[in-house]
Amino acid sequence: MALEVRGWEDVEQLYRANRADLVRLAGLLLDEPGAREEVVQDAFVALHLRRGTVAPDKVPAYLRSAVLNAARSRLRHRRVVSRLGWIVPSPPATPEDEALMGDRRATVLAAVRRLPRRQQEVVVLRYWLDLTEADIASTLGISAGSVKVHASRGLAAVARTLGDDQ
């Protein structure tokens, strides 16, 4: 979705074409259904306000990064307020969702939920969006080496959980 953003019309076009994936990304990191659309819209608003400073080929990474930052910010706020800790990804919302997910999937997601924040983000970007290490590094603003470390540790932690569970 590399596009030059010259005006609001371009932003609206990008929004219509890409919001679904970004809402799902927000949904994997936030358990506030009402907040998903908001963080996605804020990402597009931020893109518009910074138009001309984001290179066309960097737009996808910019939007993902904006969504992740907004999600992180909301979770941080909630943690401060409720002292409940990170709760990501969101649990199944309905019994129908739970039925669709199955026990094994629920166990995997619970393991991901217990990962440190940065490892969760790397795992979601790697195994849901299928991003390369370079793209993940660009999105998160960290080095490719750090991506490898976070992915490795996250994977190991999930494997341990599944091993314990089996």
Work out whether 24 is an interface residue with other proteins (CB under 8 A): yes
Write down the least CB distance from residue 85 to other proteins, Å. Answer: 20
Work out whether 6 is an interface residue with other proteins (CB under 8 A): no
Sites for other proteins among residues 108-137 (CB under 8 A): 108-109, 112, 123-124, 127-128
Write down the least CB distance from residue 81 to other proteins, Å. Answer: 21
Spatial separation of the C-alpha atoms in residues 14 and 72, rounded to whole Å: 23
Q: How many residues bind other proteins (CB under 8 A)?
A: 46
Spatial separation of the C-alpha atoms in residues 22 and 150, rounded to whole Å: 22
Contact 30, 74 (CB under 8 A): yes
Selection from 27, 21, 35 nearest residue 89 by Cα: 27
Work out whether 97 is an interface residue with other proteins (CB under 8 A): yes
Provide the sign of the torsion angle of the four alpha carbons 162, 153, 100, 27, taken in this order. positive
Work out whether 58 is an interface residue with other proteins (CB under 8 A): no
Write down the least CB distance from residue 83 to other proteins, Å. Answer: 26
